[in-house]
Structure 1
Amino acid sequence: MPVKVIGMIGVDPPKGTTLHVIAGGVSASFLKEFAQTHENAGFDHVLVGYYSSSAEGFNVASYAAAHTKTLSYLIAHRPGVVSPTLAARSAATFDHLSNGRLLLHIISGVTDKEQESEGDFLKKDDRYRRAAEYLGVMRRLWTADAPFDHHGEFYRFNAAWTAVKPLQKPYPKLFFGGASEGALEMGAEHCDSYALYGEPLKETADRMADFRARAAKFGRTPGFNISFRPIIAPTEGEAWDKARRILADMENANLPRHAQDKSAERMLAIAARGDVHDERLYLPIAKAVGAKGNTSCLVGTPQQVADAMLKYYRMGVQSFLIRGFDPVGDTTEFGRELIPALKEGALAIDRETAVAA
C-alpha cells in the first residue's frame, strides 16, 4: 500500500516560528493558498484541527476542497459536541460533495477545562466511553439498510436512519490518538488508524504491537500514522544549526503550558533520557513546549530524514503527518525533495516485500 503524507492547514496566516496553524481568525485567501500549496507539494491529505474556539472544521474543509482537486481532508471531530446522527449525515454529505476526499480524526478534547467551554462537563475517561458509543451509532448509520433503535448509556434513538451514505465504502477512514486506556479501548473497537507521536523506533514498535493485539480482539487489523516535524537543510550541519535556532525561538516565546495527557507524559519522559534518539529524532523542542503540537523533530538532509521515516514504514506505519515551524515555507520545501524521497523509498520497500513474498 503506497505511503501517505499528511500535512495540516490553517485559516489565519501565522507569524514567525510557530507551533500552531488553527488559532485566530479566518482568511479565505490564505486557506485557499495553503491548501493548494500542500496539493502542489505532493501531500495526500491535510489535517483540519479543532479547538473549541477555532473555525469549524467541516466548513474549513469544504472551502478548501472546492479549491483543490486531489487533496483529502482529515477533519478533527469531537464526539459529543453534536449528535452522532447529525455527524453521520454531515460526513456522508461532505464525502459525496468532495468526491470521496474525507477522513475523520476522532478526539476527546484537549483538557476538561477546554471541553467545559463547549458546555461538556464529562471527564475525559467518560468522554472516551461516550465516544465509543457515538462511533458505534455513527458506523451503524453509515452501513444500516433500515432504521434502528438504540438505547445506550449516553444516547437514545428511535428509528435512527440516514438516507445519505458515504461515497467511500463502508465509510471514510477513522483516525484517533491517545495513550490512555480509554483512548486505546475506543480506538481498538472503532477506529482504522492509530495516530502516534514520533517516538524512538523501539517504543514505537512496542506501542504498535500492543495496539495490534487490542484491535485483534475485535477482529480488526489497524493501520498506523506517526507525526514528525522535519527540520531539513542542504547539509546535515545546516539542518542541526536550524534545529538549534528553532529551539531558541521556542524557548524565547515563553509559551503557556497546559495540563498534559498520557501521550505528552510519555514524550517528556523519553526527552528526559536524551536530546537525540535513533540518530535523527530530536526532542529538545518537544521538551521546551511541554510536548504540545506534535513536536518530535527529525533533523538532517531531505534524504537522511526520508531514510529515518522509512524505518518506521518498514515497521508498518502507513502514513506520516509532517509539518514545519514555518508552515507555508516548510510545506513547499518538503515537496521539493523530502516527499519524493519518502514515496520513492516506500515503493522500493513495497517491491522488496513483494519479491520476498
Structure 2
Amino acid sequence: MRARHAFPLRRRLAVAGVLGLGLGTTLAACGSSSDDDAGADGGSLRVTTLGLCNEVVYWAQEKGLFADHGVDVELVKSTGGAAALTALQSGDIDLAFANPFSTMIAIDQGLDLKWIATAYETTSVEADAANAMVVAKDAGITDAAGLNGKTIGVNEVGGINQIASSQWMKLKGGDPSSVKFVALPFNELASAVASGKVAAAQVPAQNVDPELGLVSLGDPYVVAGEGSNLVFAGYVATGKEAKDKEKELKAFQDALIETNEAFNDPANDDERFKLASAQCKQDAAVLKTLPENIYEARVDTGALERMGEILVGQDRLDDPPSPEDFVPSYVTTK
C-alpha cells in the first residue's frame, strides 16, 4: 500500500459522474492521440470517456504518453457506464470506463469482463473526504439512523453510490432496507435536499454548500472501506480483447501509471488544472480548491476483494468473482 504522505490532501477530486449500469447509451468519437504517428509500431484502442475534469486519459493523450508506450488511443464520449459496457459487448470500443461494483455484477450475470487499469481510489481518511452524505442543516438528522424510512437521492438506483450509501447506513447503525433510493442527476441532488424533495443525498464533497444550508454526515466510501481504500473507477475490457490486445492494454495502463506520477507532482498543478479546465469548461482556479480522489492506475486486488464482500453482504451477489479471475496476469497490481 502506498504511503499516505505521497498524496497531498487536496488531490482527491470527486468524480462528477459515477459509472453504473443504468445510464444512457450515447457514444461519440471525441478525439485521438495527439501524435499522428502514435501506434505506428503498435496497435490502437478506442476508450470511453465521460469528459470529466479529472480524467487522466486527457493528460496522457495531450502529452503523447500513449504514443510513447506504443499505442494509439481514440477517446469516445459516453453518457455513462451502461453505454460503455453496451459498446464494449458490441465491439464498438476496446475499453469501458466503469466501476468495480457494476463490473462484478455484470460478470456474475454472465459477461466476460476484465479489469485492466484503475483510474481512482477513494480515501480511507474522513478529513480527506471527496464524497458526502448531505442533509439539510435544520432537518434534525445527525446520523444514519435518522435516515431510516426516508428518501435518499443518488445519481443512479442500483449504482455504486447507492451501494456505498447502503453500506454506510449499515455500518453506522441505520437500516438501508427501510430507505427509498431515488435517482436524480448529479447537478440536482444538493438542491433536492435543500428543497426537501429528498431527506439526504450522496454527492461529491464540493456540493456541501453552506448557502443551501447543507451539512455532511460523512463520506460513505470512507466508512464502507472500514479503514482501507476502495476502487472508485477504472477501465474494463472483454475477455477476448484482454487476450487479443494484451500488448496495447498493458501499454495503456503503463501510460496511466506515468500520468499518475505527473499528476502527483505539484510542479505540474498549473498545467494539469488548465488542461482539466479546457476539458470540462470549469474555472481552473476553482478546480484547484476541490477535494480529489486518489489517482492510481495500478490495480488494488485487495480493494476489489473487499468490494466483492460488500456485494455479498448486501445480497447482491452470492459468490463474487475473484480478482484472480478478472484481473489479467499482465496487469500491474499493488
Larger Rg: 1
TM-score by length of 1: 0.29
TM-score by length of 2: 0.30
**Bigger helix fraction:** 1
